[in-house]
Structures are given as structure tokens and as C-alpha cells.
Amino acid sequence: MLLLNPGPVTLTERVRRSLLQTDLCHRESEFFDLQDEARERLVNVYGLDPAQWSAVLMTGSGTAAVESMVAALVPEHGKLLIVENGVYGERIAHIAAQYRIAHEVVKHEWMEAPDLARIVARLDADRGFTHVAVIHHETTTGRLNDLRTLGAVCRERGVQLLVDGVSSFGAEAIDFNDGSIAAVAATANKCLHGVPGAAFVIVRRDTLAQAASRTFYLDLSRLARLQDQRNTPFTPSVHAYYALVEALRELADEGGWTARHARYAALAEQARAGLAARGVASAVAPEQSSVVLRAYRLPDGVSYPQLHDALKARGFVIYAGQGGLSAELFRISTMGDIHAADVDRLLQGFSELSR
């Protein structure tokens, strides 16, 4: 079965085999070597300076990293402006509410791009905002939100940007040195091709010094401090770390994030063109979409369950639209060990469907 859902991904054999390594106690030096390698390689994915940036690991899914970032980095008397144009923006609003973090949401329809004018107006109306949170790749629709223009707006106002990069880290451009980004949260099991269970926040070291401590398990600054001391507060998912390290080695061997971007771009375009030729339209214009995942309109007269089951019978797991979009959309991600021949077979499946 090939997974075309947005994570967990179809593993490469190399990463799968890495799970079979020797059992490790997480209080032994062998584990800390593994943790150190994962952290060094994560900082290096975008060529960051480890003196300025820290990769903080935790055991959990991508949401754990997003929650840890938001709970720590908005200070006690800070205020967060959340850009919402999908499920994951809404999730950050839920996290902020849960921790009673002062916040406001700039809501958009889920098919819309962020409206910079509205965001600027909110920031200028209330100089109390210290942070803006945004989803880089809004997996709900496949839209790639523009970090560059939003970052400029934040930088001009001295506001820090918190980025949910869960479904973009490792495959889309992120300009960490644009002066606005304080942190990016992500996970092992999307564009990095690891297994679920390890997540991380790439954070500016100087912002950690002012971090709040609202949560116990996901306390970002404690995790960072102990990991810097070759320590860990709790039992980590050792096997997920094995897989993360192997996946990061493989990413480096394959040419890093730019090569992964190019590979995903080719697969996404192959799927888009093939589906368009079969009368299946893109829901978001390709130039506004990520290379990681694309949303498509369900063909006329075909329900999602019908499409899903027919493709599953052919060996592919696709993904439904979320929330109100479930009756209109389906999604195809080409993360993981997916190749052009697989997309060809998928398109063949679509051809057979319409017969």
C-alpha cells in the first residue's frame, strides 16, 4: 500500500531497516549520541548556525511541537495574532485558548490566501501584539502561505513570527534569517520521511531565554536545556529517533531540502497534469500550492468514499477534505518513498474509474 496522505509517509527501506537497530537505554551515552546527531542534522537542514539556533526534540506528533512552541514562546504578558486559513490555523487558536494566552484570530475562508491588509490593520490597531502565528503549508488545502511578506510586516513592527512548518520543513524554502522568525515547529514523519513519534522545534536560542513555562511535559526551554546537557527529562521514542536520524542522513545524501523540493515538484506536476487531462481540477492554483500536497475537486458524481475505496483497491491511500471541504475535495500528497511510476499507476487508476 502506498500512502498519499500527508503523513505518516511510505518509508524507504533504508529508514525502515533503521528501526531494527539495537535496544537502547535513554540514559546511556549511545542514546545521547543519537539525540545529538538528530539535533545537529535538523539545524543543518537549512544550514543554520547552531550558536544561534537550537533544534529541540520531543516525543509526540507534529501537534506536540506546535503546542510546545506556542505555549513557551508567547511570554506571560505577550499577545498572539493567529492567521487562520485552515484546520491547522484553527488548531493554534485552540491551543492559545487552552493555555489562556491572550490572542486574536484573523479568520479567512479556508480556500483563501492570508489577507495581508487585514493582518497589518490588526497589528497596527493594537501594539500589544508580540507574536504572529502562521501555518506555512496549510495542509487543509495545500496552500503555501507566503512567509516572506508576512515576515516583513512582522519585522517592521518588531513582532516575532511562530511558524507551523509541520508539513513544509525539509521541502519548502524557509528563510530563517529574515529577522522575524523566532521558531518553526515540525515533525519527523512528513517531508523528512521518518516515522511518527518524534517532533521538534527549531528555535532562536535568545528567545528561549525569555520563554514561558505553561506546560510540564512539553516545556520547550527545559527540553532545550537538558538536551544541551546530553540529557532528557522523560523516556523518548528511541526508535523514532533512530528513524529520524537515518531519514536525515538519507535527505543529506539525496541533496538536501532543495533536491527534495525538486522531486516533490515534479511528482505534484505529474499528478496535476494527469488529473487535469482526466477532467479532475485543482482546487488551489498550482503557483499558490505547496509541492508537498495538492487538493483536487471530486469528479462529478463521484463521492469521496467511492474514490477512496476504488484507489485503495489499487494500492493507494488518498486523503479526504477536512471539515466543510470533505464533500468537495480530496487530497494527494507525494511525500515519502513515492516515484514517477507510482503516480503513473495512480493516474491509470483514475482512468479506469471513469470507465
**Binding site as annotated, residues for substrate:** 331
Among 9, 48, 82, 135, binds ligand PLP (CB under 6 A): 135
Amino acid at 183: A
Please check whether residue 103 is in contact with residue 96, taking contact to mean a CB–CB distance below 8 angstroms: yes
Q: How far is the CB of 20 from ligand PLP (least distance, A)?
A: 24
Q: Which is nearer to ligand PLP, 139 or 180 (CB)?
A: 139
Binding track over 163-202 against ligand PLP, x by CB under 6 A: -x-xx-------------------x---------------
Contacts of 211 (CB under 8 A, 6+ apart): 72, 73, 75, 220, 221
Q: How far is the CB of 315 from ligand PLP (least distance, A)?
A: 23
Q: Which is nearer to ligand PLP, 6 or 194 (CB)?
A: 6
How many residues in the shown chain lie near ligand PLP by CB under 6 A?
Answer: 13
Alpha carbons within 13 A on the beta-carbon side of 306? 10
CA 135, CA 63: separation in Å to the nearest integer? 12
Please check whether residue 280 is in contact with residue 299, taking contact to mean a CB–CB distance below 8 angstroms: yes
Task: Identify whether 8 is preceded by a cis peptide bond (ω within 30 of 0).
Answer: yes
Please check whether residue 272 is in contact with residue 339, taking contact to mean a CB–CB distance below 8 angstroms: no
Q: Which is nearer to ligand PLP, 57 or 66 (CB)?
A: 66
Q: How far is the CB of 85 from ligand PLP (least distance, A)?
A: 11
Q: Choose one: 32-40, 55-63, 152-160, 258-266; the region binding ligand PLP (CB under 6 A).
A: 55-63
Amino acid at 27: R
Binding track over 15-54 against ligand PLP, x by CB under 6 A: ----------------------------------------
Strands (E), the chain: 2-3, 53-60, 80-84, 103-107, 131-135, 137-138, 143-144, 160-164, 181-187, 197-204, 293-297, 316-317, 319-320, 329-333
Among 9, 78, 79, 88, binds ligand PLP (CB under 6 A): 88
Residues binding ligand PLP (CB under 6 A): 6-7, 61-63, 66, 88, 135, 139, 164, 166-167, 187
